[in-house]
Structure 1
Amino acid sequence: MKKEENTQRASSYWKRLTALLCLGWVVIWIYRSMLTPIYPQVMQTLDLHSNQQIGIIASIYFFAYVLLQVPAGMISDKFDKRLILSFGFLVFAFATFLMSASQNLVVIYIASALAGLSGAFFYGAAFSLSGQDIPANKRNVATAIINSGSSVGMVIGLSGSSWLVLSQSVDWQLMLKGVALIMVLTFALYYLFIRRDNAASTQSAPQNNLTEGSSENSYFTVKKLAVYFVLFCSCYAYFLVVSWLPNFLQTERHFSGSSAGMVASLVGLASIPGALIFSMVADKYRHYKYRIMLLQLVLAAVMLLISAHAQDAFVIMLGLVGYGLLGKLALDPLLISTISDLSNKKKLATSLSIYNFFGMSASFIAPWLTGNIADRTGSTLDAFNLAGIILATGAVVLVVVFIFTSHKQNRSQYEYR
């Protein structure tokens, strides 16, 4: 009887944990994406005259996020993850409220940096908890559901801010105050409904019989570096889309402000089924994983360039849906499983933090560099072209390091036999 009760409790807890971690990504991505459709309004309020200045608000958030990514992962391994996650959102709420209460650009930058520092603690703690408390046979689907929160948050952030600020004339700083309140609510939910973490549970992961010199113990093998680079390429294109696509649609494709946010949110909507489908495909056809990843990178680059160069609204939307289905969020489950396969399980949390560090470094480079390109050329089209080239470069690295070397190894094994 007690066994059945414990099983039922464990079953209900991992589902609750999955929902809460998904909510975390929703809230984080509402914050990350909500300003991009309303850059002109933000620039007007803050009296800004440069695209680079507005791009720095996003860049400084992601720079702080990346800077603390690996230390935050290490801290999460040593302390109660419930407290780290919950109080992280409380600090995040304070930073968002600070941004909503100031019209001083320096204070906005400081608040954005503080938001990035607090957000850095989410990734390592969240995925460490999911790895430890979600059953192995449910983990891939649960991870896809958790990751889908970022798509939902992106859709809400882009379309919600477009509707509130551009259609309903709500002050964008009042909207920020509302988001800060949602973060306080998330803090309360995490504190009340996530179990206390203890040191014993973090040591319960299966151990590998690996020697100290084995490649699984190194964070910087050739294959791991290739995965880091492919993630960087994928993230660069994604964060370009998140930070500059609504502005591009308004200024260069003549969409209205509200419709630009709605159209940009198609990327997030399409990525939800994309992430779920490719997470299942990766499990079923493991031997074809690298070829599937190659196909995703190449087609994502093509779809992104189609949506950037097209003049017809339907073709633009079609390209964005295609990019959402194939892009970063659909590629993530395959890249994460590759890092997991290449890593010592006892060091997996740190490996994933380093992995995320390399990927998220694109998150502050892309907004700043795009703003710089826009100031120099008067258009962001060249920035989209650059993103397509970067995705293609990632595909080349994938071919050379994984597909070509795997084929070579298989051929040499056959000749040896």
Structure 2
Amino acid sequence: TSSKENNKRHLILALLFLGWCLSYLDRLAMNLGIVYIAKDFNLSPSVMGIVLSSFFAGYALMQVPGGWLTDKFGSGKVVTVAILFWSLFTVLTGMAWSLMSMIMIRFLFGLGEGAYPAASSKAIATVFPKKERPGAQTIMMSSNSLGGVIAPLIATPLLVWIGWRSLFWVIGILGIFVAWLLWYYLKPANLQVDSSEEEVAEKASFKDVIRIPITWKLAIMWFGMSTVIWGLISWMPPYLVGARGLDLMSMGMLTSIPALAGAIAIVIGGQLIQSYWSGKEKSVAIINSFLVIVCLYLLYNAPSVTFVITFLTLCYVFHGLVFATIFSLPHKVISKTNIGSAIGVINLGGMIGAFLAPMVMGYLIEIFNGSYTPAFIYLIVCAVLSITAAAVINSKRELSFEDNRIIIGSKSL
């Protein structure tokens, strides 16, 4: 029975991982295709930033409702509906006929995808024992960086061969198939609550969840780190092509190297946090956020493309360790009855950063006549904010499940 339970858990984890890879492929297809889309629609850098940010506007708005819907209706239903919804708008992206239609389609695409983070995290909390959840969560979330490896390798050749419109049609059809897989395997019988460990926290309101200090501190940390990573993802393709002189195919292949390193760092970081770094998460986040800042500075001032990719890779590695810390901690200190809402709040902070990054950087690049210096300074400032949020975490009080579990009616959260 134990072996069957483990196999079931690992299958569910693999399917959720696949869903995350698909979502990342859908997102990065736009970041890769924006070079061609900008030519077709005659977009300036600031307008390119608005197009890239429109997805994150919808994505951010759905984080908290997505968490609430997941806690209310269950992760299986929300996961399936989310993938179907965003796959539909992936297909529609390839049919955009104007700038405004593109912005609206990408906004609605973001709404569909925005429910997936909380729903997939809830599924992890439901089927895995408490001690295994941080590791399972970070394995699942490493799909973000792995998607950054897969997307350029798949999307860049397709982009060159069949054009950006057909690229979105192909990815959208693939998404419908993945939605069917998840609907088939994430049935209620396969998502039975793990009862190996008793957790006595009661269901809480959204207001109670955000009153837990660690929730909003993690949200601010993720705001800073999400700004960094999505700023780089959004503007490194135009930067490498325009400022560093690479062709589109070379750019796509080279940017997969940092993404692979980031995926490995997230998985290793999750395992270390579960074992050797347990209780030291605050220090891990501060040190690695600082190293991200150092790499950002060295990246922009690198004398060659080789050094740009080297420092970009290191930036992804240190970011991956902070990322693993942010998304493993909720499973350690917050009850599974409230994890959907908590993840929604945390990811809301991150997606506000992701929404602002492409737009703010595009505006700064345009008003400073094509210079990327102010844009990189913006990323560094946001990384400093992440360090500040980590620094005010009270390790003794906030990094304990007993101190953060919610009991309705209690004045002490």
Q: TM-score, normalised by structure 1?
A: 0.87
2:137–2:327 CA contact under 8 A, matched in 1: no
Of 15, 25, 28, the match for 1:30:
25
Q: How far is the alpha carbon of 1:126 from its aligned partner?
A: 0.9
Change (3 A) 1:220 1:209: closer
After superposing the two structures, state which structure 1 stretch, 391-400 or 250-259, moved more.
Answer: 391-400
* % identical equivalent positions: 19
Partner of 1:51: 45
**Secondary structure, aligned partner of 2:238:** helix
- More helix, by proportion: 1
8 Å CA contact 2:129, 2:194 repeated in 1: no
Query: Contact 2:74/2:119 (CA < 8 Å) preserved in 1?
Result: no
Alignment of 1:47-126 (within 5 A): 47-126=41-120
Distance 2:382 2:179 in 1: 38
Give 2:371's match in structure 1, choosing from 371, 379, 387: 379
1:250 equivalent in alignment to 2:250? no
In the TM superposition, residue 347 of structure 1 has moved relative to its aligned partner by: 2.3
Aligned-CA RMSD value? 2.7
| Aligned pairs, number | 394
Structure 1 unaligned runs (5+)? 407-417
- Give the 3 Å change call, closer, same or farther, for CA 384–60 of structure 1 in structure 2: same
Task: Specify the code of the residue in structure 2 equivalent to 1:371.
Answer: G
Shift of the 104–223 alpha-carbon distance from structure 1 to 2, 3 Å rule, reads same
Structure-1 residue corresponding to 2:147 = 153
CA deviation vs aligned residue, 1:351-399 (integer Å, no higher than 9, x gap):
1211111111111100111111111111233211221222123223423
Q: Distance in 1 between matches of 2:71 and 2:209?
A: 18
Structure 1 distance, partners of 2:365, 2:158, is 27
Once the two structures are superposed, what CA deviation does each residue of 1:213-260 show, in whole Å capped at 9, x if it has no partner?
A: xxx955245544332211111110011011111111111111222112
Q: Letter of the aligned partner of 1:103 in structure 2?
A: W
CA radius of gyration, larger in: 1
Aligned-pair CA distance for 1:350: 1.2
1:187 counterpart = 2:179? yes
Matched, 1:334 2:325: yes
Residue 310 (structure 2) aligns with: 318
Measured in 2, the distance between the counterparts of 1:29 and 1:206 equals 35
Partner of 2:15: 20
Equivalent position SS for 1:255: coil
Q: CA deviation at 1:172?
A: 0.9
Q: Which moved more, 1:170-179 or 1:31-40?
A: 31-40
Q: Which residue of 2 aligns with 1:9?
A: 4
Could you report, residue by residue, the CA deviation over 1:163-202 in whole angstroms, capped at 9, with x for unpaired residues? 3324xx3211111111011101111101112122799849
Separation of aligned partners in 2, 1:49 and 1:149:
31
The answer to whether the aligner puts 1:239 opposite 2:230 as a matched pair is yes
Structure 2, unaligned runs of 5 or more: 399-413
Greater shift in the superposed pair: 116-125 or 100-109:
100-109
Distance 1:77 1:287, change over 3 A: closer
